[in-house]
A = this chain, B = another copy of it.
Amino acid sequence: MLSLTEENYLKAIYHLSEGGAKSVLTNDLAEAMCTKAASTTDMIKKLSAKALISYEKYYGVNVSAKGKQAALLIIRKHRLWETFLVQKLNFTWDEVHEVAEQLEHIHSVHLIDKLEEFLGFPTVDPHGDAIPDRKGNIKLLPQVGADQLKVGYQGTIIAVKDSDSNLLKYLDKIGAKPGKKLKVLAREEYDESMEIMIDDNKVFLSKDVSKNILVTA
């Protein structure tokens, strides 16, 4: 059984290794966890001893198959709870992450399976992120940050980054929701800001915003 802290480190390692094929570095993990590098090294040793990650001294860590599965089961819980909060308790999508950070550590397989059933087996959470199944399998759609797009691109918003509450409020205001059509009208190379069309609304976005909108690749 993993402690709450071990679960949080493992999840952070998984998220940091998503996409990139490189090892997760101690300092990056420390920053993500809001702890110091020394503390992180300690935890890396613990997770490594439990075979959840592989660790090469000075060169960072990688999640093992076992670690990936454990991480995905935590993420499954996080996303099912977020879905519950929005669909059943009428939370707004900017209110759910913090509470889900706590709820994801409740230990009960029965609970989470029943919750999933109660929600009608949702496939994505309120931010568009895929929900892993009870085995820890997840199907990731190829997706890219809107900041990477070229003028003329047309596609669909798949998901948005969910950790900043104020960003989510803004995205809600401009209608940037999973499922919406997105078209790139113009792009300013100097600051990488863009003019885009979401459904029928024209908006200007700084890179700081656009990079948090994930679209079909």
Residues of A within 8 A of B (CB): 85, 88-91, 95, 98-99, 102-103, 106-108, 110-111, 114-115, 117-118
Interface-central residue, A85, A98, A111, A117, by most chain B CB under 10 Å: A111
Within the complex, which residue of B99, B103, B107, B118 is in contact with A89, where a contact is CB–CB below 8 Å? B118
Task: Report the Cα distance A99→B108, complex, angstroms.
Answer: 7
The reply to whether B107 and A91 form a contact with Cβ atoms under 8 Å apart is no
Instruction: Name the 8 nearest CB pairs between A and B, nearest first.
Output: A89-B114, A102-B106, A99-B108, A99-B111, A89-B118, A88-B118, A103-B106, A89-B115
Chain B residues in 8 Å Cβ range of A115? 89
State the CA gap A20–B79 with chains docked (Å): 45
Closest-CB distance, A197 to chain B (whole angstroms): 35
What chain B residues lie within 8 Å of A103 (beta carbons)? 106
Distance from A84 Cβ to chain B, minimum over Cβ atoms (Å): 10
